[in-house]
Structure 1
Amino acid sequence: MRLATYASVATALVLILAKVVAYLLTDSVSMLSTLLDSLMDAAASLVNLIAVRHALTPADREHRFGHGKAEALAGLGQSTFIAGSAAFLLFESIGRLVSPQPVTNGIVGIGVMLFSMALTLVLVLFQRHVIRRTRSIAVSADSLHYVGDIAANLAVLAALVLSSQFGWNRSDPIFAIGVSFYVGFTAWQIARSAFDMLMDREMPDEERSRIRAIVMANPRVRNMHDLRTRRSGPHRFIQFHLEMDPEMRLTEAHILSDEVEAAILKEFPAAEVIIHEDPEGVAEGRKTFT
């Protein structure tokens, strides 16, 4: 996760330098759009770098559940940066649409965009590898808007070709407006994911179903109820009541719980599992949701 944040910051800085040169040479508002996006990427990636370092800090006396929610706070910060850049870009593009200007040195701009897309693609592939291993929301959010960058860069590339090679000057701001809406939608997706983590939203239904299947696969388990889950950064918290034979000795019940916990951790290695042992058939006040 740390390496992914370092790669993200380095990529953003390289792209900023290349796009500044390209914008000064082309005076293209669509190039400005992708430059602003890279500036926001750099700012967001720096926030990510700090947040991930904090999120990976082990639990301590003051934070017994760890520091994973720093990732969600970083995600909210990212969404704010990205939404602001989308609004600025939309305003600038509308002005250029009213008063279109020709794009100069289009070949330079096209070359920079091709370089930008190639470098971004390499970064996204690496981030996807990290996400598969860690399920990090911060790296996932970072990867999401870099994927958006590839789509945005394609739009900018098309605008540069149409404007510089075919003289269609209004294509430049039109494509930039499209990019601004896409960037705004990306900000909303990141904010929603971060908000879900901060509000302790349950893990996805398919993961909850998988937990149930793992628990019930043990032949000595009679039933389970009150499954509650949440995520905090790369960590998952899973707790439930485990029903077993009422005649089972406490030592055997403990061994059975350990077996169930080990099976869950094999599937969800970064989880903290809390199991409450219940004798089957004993009435208790259960939750109305499962």
Structure 2
Amino acid sequence: MSHQLYSRWVTWASVAAVSTATLLIIGKLIAWLMTDASSLLASLTDSLMDVSASIINLLAIRYALAPADDEHRFGHGKAESLAGLIQSAFISGSALLLVMHGISSLLNQAPIQRLEAGMWVSVGSIVLTLLLVGFQRVVISKTGSVAIKADMLHYRSDLLLNVGVLLALVLAGQGWFWADGLFAILIGLFLLWGASHIGYESVQALLDRQLPAEEQARIMTLCCAVAGVHGVHDLRTRQSGPTRFVQLHLELDDQLPLVNAHHIADEVERAVLQEFDRIDIIIHMDPVSVLMKEQQSPHPEQ
């Protein structure tokens, strides 16, 4: 996928998330004012956190997609991982608020007024969120965006939250008032668990974690398949936003003319670029004999 197409998909996903969250906030606010249900208030709070996180996500993605400049020669892709880390903090805060609201509701059980309004808003929220999550899944399958993955966690959790709110309202209508608070607590704990995973992935990306082992193995295979390459060593990889960065050393014949060595390196680069989208590769060329001597020579005593 080209950089322009990647930019278009992730921007659409971010705009869709902000628009959906805004509609949910309006609906849940009206429903909460009509019912005074704790689970709806918790859901409203969660949506407020979601729209804040989605706006941050949209801004971060636009910055991450900016081309490299004189001060950021490797581009701005890490802004996307930073957005994922910020969102994990938002999710955690939202989850803690849900747990607190749930505990308060359990301690102060009371009948809920105008249940029908709350139920209809919950059903509408489920439908809108399902549509958004489906669209986000398509975008993630095409781009692998960390920020969109983090955003999808919000709304996938919102599906459970809205189903829980709907079920809590139904049970409360049957006189089981404790359900209102219990569902808020359970969903809050689930959100905390999901936020920890998003936070971990974002931190690893910011710390330049290597590409998956299968991708590294594929890169090594592609390099060694080029005629004239005797081996590859010192492979180093990382990912920043949509771009993979690869550095490696090619092992070539000692007496190979520089122009021929350069030609082989170009062939290796083309082979890797044909296999992987959005990749930046740096190749260093080493003579085989020097490497063999280094491997055979004893290590000096420490």
TM range (shorter): over 0.9
Correspondence list, 1:186-201, <5 A: 186-201=194-209
User: Which residue does the alignment assign to 1:114?
Assistant: 123
One-letter amino acid of the structure 2 residue matched with residue 193 of structure 1? E
User: Which residue does the alignment assign to 2:54?
Assistant: 45
Aligned partners of 2:231 and 2:250 also within 8 Å: yes
Measure the CA separation in 1 of the matches of 2:263 and 2:120.
Answer: 64
User: Which residue does the alignment assign to 1:31?
Assistant: 40
User: Which residue does the alignment assign to 1:58?
Assistant: 67
User: Which residue does the alignment assign to 2:171?
Assistant: 162
Aligned partners of 2:232 and 2:251 also within 8 Å: yes
User: Which residue does the alignment assign to 1:73?
Assistant: 82
Aligned partners of 1:145 and 1:186 also within 8 Å: no
User: Which residue does the alignment assign to 2:137?
Assistant: 128
In the TM superposition, residue 273 of structure 1 has moved relative to its aligned partner by 0.6
Identity %: 48
Measure the CA separation in 2 of the matches of 1:140 and 1:257.
Answer: 36
1:225 aligns with one of 216, 220, 233: 233
One-letter amino acid of the structure 1 residue matched with residue 99 of structure 2? L
Aligned partners of 2:20 and 2:132 also within 8 Å: yes
One-letter amino acid of the structure 2 residue matched with residue 35 of structure 1? L
Aligned partners of 1:135 and 1:234 also within 8 Å: yes
Q: 1:267 to 1:101 in 2, by over 3 A?
A: farther
One-letter amino acid of the structure 1 residue matched with residue 69 of structure 2? D
User: Which residue does the alignment assign to 1:99?
Assistant: 108
TM normalised by structure 2 equals 0.89
One-letter amino acid of the structure 1 residue matched with residue 232 of structure 2? M
Measure the CA separation in 1 of the matches of 2:290 and 2:206.
Answer: 35
2:270 aligns with one of 237, 251, 262: 262
**Residue deviations 1:110-153 (CA, integer Å, cap 9, x gap):** 22122111111211222222222222111111112211211222
**Counterpart check, 1:244 vs 2:270:** no
Measure the CA separation in 1 of the matches of 2:294 and 2:75.
Answer: 30
In the TM superposition, residue 51 of structure 1 has moved relative to its aligned partner by 0.4
Q: Which runs of 5+ in 2 are unaligned?
A: 1-9, 296-302
- Give the root-mean-square deviation of aligned CA atoms: 1.7
**Counterpart check, 1:152 vs 2:161:** yes
Aligned partners of 1:33 and 1:179 also within 8 Å: no
Q: Which runs of 5+ in 1 are unaligned?
A: none
Measure the CA separation in 2 of the matches of 1:173 and 1:93.
Answer: 4
**Residue deviations 1:236-279 (CA, integer Å, cap 9, x gap):** 11111112333433222222222221221222221101111122
TM normalised by structure 1 equals 0.92
In the TM superposition, residue 70 of structure 1 has moved relative to its aligned partner by 1.1
Aligned residues: 285
Measure the CA separation in 1 of the matches of 2:169 and 2:275.
Answer: 48
Q: Which of these two proteins has the greater Rg computed from alpha carbons?
A: 2
In the TM superposition, residue 219 of structure 1 has moved relative to its aligned partner by 4.3
Aligned partners of 2:227 and 2:264 also within 8 Å: no
User: Which residue does the alignment assign to 2:221?
Assistant: 213
User: Which residue does the alignment assign to 1:272?
Assistant: 280
Measure the CA separation in 1 of the matches of 2:118 and 2:126.
Answer: 12
Q: 1:207 to 1:157 in 2, by over 3 A?
A: farther
Aligned partners of 2:38 and 2:180 also within 8 Å: yes
